[in-house]
Structure 1
Amino acid sequence: MAFHPDFQTNGYFFVNYTNSGGTSVIARYRATSATTASSNTEQIVLTVSQPYSNHNAGQLAFSPRDGYLYIGFGDGGSGGDPGNRSQNGRQLLGKMLRIDVDSGDPYGIPADNPFTNNGSVRDEIWAIGVRNPWRFSFDPETHDLYIGDVGQNAWEEIDFQPADSNGGENYEWKVREGNHSYSSGTSYGAGERTGAIYEYRHSGAGSGCSLTGGVVYRGCKMPDLQGVYFFADYCTNWVRTLRVRGGVAQEIVNQTTGLNRGIPGNLSQISSFGLDG
């Protein structure tokens, strides 16, 4: 769910859900009071048919830099992207989208989207080649974009887009999983080939199996952690941080022990991070 930047005025919020027919739906609702909203206010913004039942869910968020709505769609599911949807520019699956919900009917295309007027790539597409970007976030201070992309059999990855990017990155799935060859017979689609800034294995020391993308800390209670990105692994329950400098991930630190201290039991099956407003 994502609140419109002018939510306090217009009451709009946006939801990404999969309906009973297996179609992903981006819908707008309006709050009818401080604590309630009616399903009768639903306006369908965008629908995408899903070929399989996994990789359907996806993050959506408004950029603090440009105010547009960004949507992460997985590759359509099954395993190994059998339809090669992530590299197909005519498919919205396996992509990061960027749309203007304040113009058009039901939405507009920002004039500076990277593939506008490209006959082989949909205008909505902001970046190509993701597998399951079910958690992404913007740094509230720098406006850099961090994408947690769940891997297939061997590697989990974090993709990064600096705030001054013009879009058009190709994060390489399914040609590559993380920064390693996955399907050498697959051709790249459009966009600038862009490797992961961080990856970890599914086996060995420090491994995991399902990345949960997180958030950049900009609070005041932990000054040493200012500007670090928190992320986790859903399967193995660890939490790590990294800091990006010059587009490079540095200072990888395991924060699990400190976060577990004082918690009844331990952190487990971490599915999301949030910012304390």
Structure 2
Amino acid sequence: MLLGACAGGLPGVRAGTPPITAVRVARGLSFPLYVTYAPGDFERVFIVEQGGTIRILKNGTLLPDPFLDISHLTVADGELGLLGLVFDPDYAENGFFYVNYTSGRQPGPMATWIVRYRVSADADRADPNSAHVILTFPQPYANHNGGWMGFGPNDGYLYIAVGDGGNQFDPDNRGQTIVDDLWGSLLRLDVRGDDFPEDPMRNYALPPDNPFVGTVGDDEI
């Protein structure tokens, strides 16, 4: 209402809601959560399905075979599953892309995994054997896992949105904790380096200008 009133007072601007039309672009998807594209690719759209598959919509046609299938590594249950996808800024040269998924389900142990994969010789299929773990950490509950990832347009670092880990109302106050606790944070990692060569579950470097580097607080935040 406020926007409409403001617009109505501007010369040449008509009040009211602009017409919006929903257009179906694909059928046959299962719990699609996220849509993105590879840098410079104007023919394909990549669709994340919560159950663990990434599908390709190519020139308006949904390809029958998934780009990547990691359904054996994750479980789509509530807020669990394959939750995020981002392509490396240099994807055209290195073929790297990154996924964010959860493993396990209640009442057993659960975790978030940030993993890099590489495209295969077939541009429409990833190499499932190219998995390279960037980071993993436990999830105490089955909800509030976050999932979005993106590369900074100016710094080239990987940003990862991490939920507070649950449960309802953040009962363990994780969203307000920055020491030994990555939950409820926006992580910023340099995936082209490795400050932890002895740890196979941490394959990244810490940007020196992260706000808590060298102070009290997790360096990844």
TM range (shorter): 0.5 to 0.7
Q: TM-score with structure 2 length normalisation?
A: 0.55
| Residue identity matched to 1:92 | L
**Where does 1:147-186 land on structure 2 (aligned, <5 Å)?**
none
Candidates 95, 101, 109, aligned match of 2:185: 95
Counterpart amino acid of residue 97 in structure 2: F
Q: Distance in 2 between matches of 1:37 and 1:78?
A: 34
Which residue of the partner structure matches residue 124 of structure 1?
220
1:16–1:57 contact (8 Å) kept in structure 2: no
Counterpart selection for 1:66 from 137, 145, 155: 155
Aligned with 2:92: secondary structure? helix
User: Which residue number corresponds to residue 25 of structure 1?
Assistant: 113
Structure 1 residue 22, shift from structure 2 partner: 1.5
Matched AA of 1:25: W
When normalised by structure 1's length, the TM-score is: 0.44
Alignment of 1:189-200 (within 5 A): none
Cα deviation 1:13-42 (Å, max 9, x = unaligned)? 000000124100000000013111122100
Instruction: Kindly state the Cα deviation for residue 111 of structure 1 after the two structures are TM-superposed.
Output: 1.0
- State the AA in 1 paired with 2:96: Y
Q: Which amino acid aligns with 2:117?
A: Y
How far apart in 1 are the matches of 2:87 and 2:127? 15
Asked if residue 16 in structure 1 is aligned to residue 73 in structure 2, the reply is no
**In 2: Cα distance, 1:81 partner to 1:34 partner:** 42
Equivalent-residue separation in structure 1 for 2:97 and 2:167 (angstroms): 30
Partner of 2:207: 110
Shift of 1:57: 3.8
Could you say which structure has the larger radius of gyration? Answer: 2
% of aligned pairs identical?
47
Distance in 2 between the 1:40 and 1:83 partners?
Answer: 37
Give, as a single letter, the amino acid of the residue that structure 1 aligns with 2:130: T
Match of 2:88 in 1: 4
Give the C-alpha shift of residue 86 in structure 1.
1.1
Unaligned runs of 5+ in 1: 126-277
Stretches (4+) displaced over 4 A: none
Q: How many residues align?
A: 124
Corresponding residue of 1:243? none
**Whole-angstrom CA distance in 2 between matches of 1:38 and 1:102:** 20
Within 5 A, what are the aligned runs for 1:197-208? none
Letter matched to residue 110 of structure 1:
P
**Residue in 2 that maps onto 1:228:** none
Q: CA RMSD in A?
A: 1.0
Q: Which residue does 2:133 correspond to in 1?
A: 44
Letter in 2 for 1:27: V
Q: Is the 8 A contact 1:30 1:37 kept in 2?
A: yes
Q: Deviations over 1:73-108 (max 9, x none)?
A: 000011111111111112100000000000114100
Q: Distance in 2 between matches of 1:39 and 1:22?
A: 22
Taking the aligned partners of 1:123 and 1:110, their CA distance within structure 2 comes to: 8
2:158 maps to 1:85: no
Deviation at 1:48, TM superposition (A): 1.5
Residues 73 and 94 in structure 1, CA contact (< 8 A), matched pair in contact too: yes
